[in-house]
Amino acid sequence: MSNDQPPPENDPFCSSRQPPPENDPFGSSRQPPPENDPFGSSRQPPPENDPFRKPPPPPDGDGNGPPHAPPYDPNAHGAGGPYGGTDPLAGMPPLAPFGTRLLARIIDIVIVFIPLAIISLITGGAWYSTGDNGEWDNVTNQMNTGRHWVWSLVSLLAYAGYDTFMTKKYGQTLGKRWLKIRVAMLNDGANPDTRSSLLRAAVLWVPALICCFLLWWLVLLATVLASRPYRQGLHDKAAGTVVVSAQR
């Protein structure tokens, strides 16, 4: 028999030049790994559901990169408070000193009182004389008259309207602006909206001008002094506001 006869196809000792079958697990190393091979080429990109894959940063409002950090981040806080970290006051301006707040309030009272006093002198206002000599004893009787209640309503609208407008538009009344303090929302540091400004002014002025002027101011002062950590009076707690420094 000639030696040039090719070996049969089923010869287990066939030439090494014969290519391995497709299902040979020990085939050529040049054969690319299957797509589902977990040990495939390192150049293969990780799947989208890979838990170790770092997600891309979310876009900002206009879709052009990472978001811009707000001046106050209500979501970046721990158990301490809404301004971040374990310190409830972290990330916010310094709280306004109590004496500065009190002086700013006195200034605002005077600012509104002066035009009201002028109008009262011209129109008769809340007080008028019922005796020949205008004795002070007549004041008690005058408090029960319709004129007094009308003037109380006018005063309430003037003080509450002033406070609401200035707080909503600027975050500051004139007294606060001159003393460099301002009212801010506790959750994000923004100027109070109309609802919060009106609610704050109503809690501040309605009890003071309707029933218990001196007593209500004492209650508000006591709540500011006792409140921790934000020094909020009852009007601040109702509106969700805080008074902070406005110095740049």
- DSSP for 113-155, written as a single string: HHHHHHHHHHH--S----SSS--TTHHHHHTTSHHHHHHHHHH
**pLDDT beyond 90 at 166:** yes
Q: Tell me the mean pLDDT in the region 155-181.
A: 96
**pLDDT beyond 90 at 205:** yes
Per-domain boundaries in the chain:
57-92, 98-245
Query: Which of 12-21, 89-98, 119-128 is the least confident region?
Result: 12-21
**pLDDT beyond 80 at 117:** yes
Helix (H, G, I), strand (E, B) or coil at 231: coil
The whole-number pLDDT of residue 60 equals 43
The whole-number pLDDT of residue 23 equals 59
The whole-number pLDDT of residue 149 equals 78
Tokens linked to 157: 């609208």
The whole-number pLDDT of residue 79 equals 38
How would residue 228 be classed by pLDDT, with cut points 50, 70 and 90?
A: very high
Please compute Rg for the chain using Cα positions: 39
Q: Tell me the mean pLDDT in the region 171-181.
A: 97
Q: Tell me the mean pLDDT in the region 18-25.
A: 56
Q: Tell me the mean pLDDT in the region 208-232.
A: 91
Tokens linked to 25: 């697990």
Q: What is the distance between the alpha carbons of residues 24 and 138, in angstroms, rounded to a whole number?
A: 116
**pLDDT beyond 70 at 33:** no
The whole-number pLDDT of residue 32 equals 58
Q: What is the distance between the alpha carbons of residues 123 and 139, in angstroms, rounded to a whole number?
A: 17
Compute the CA torsion angle 86, 91, 93, 97 (nearest 10 deg): 0
Q: Tell me the mean pLDDT in the region 201-210.
A: 92
**pLDDT beyond 90 at 112:** yes
Q: How far is CA 7 from the centre of its chain?
A: 86
Helix (H, G, I), strand (E, B) or coil at 218: helix
**pLDDT beyond 90 at 211:** no
**pLDDT beyond 50 at 77:** no
Helix (H, G, I), strand (E, B) or coil at 216: helix
The whole-number pLDDT of residue 159 equals 96
The whole-number pLDDT of residue 91 equals 84
**pLDDT beyond 50 at 8:** yes
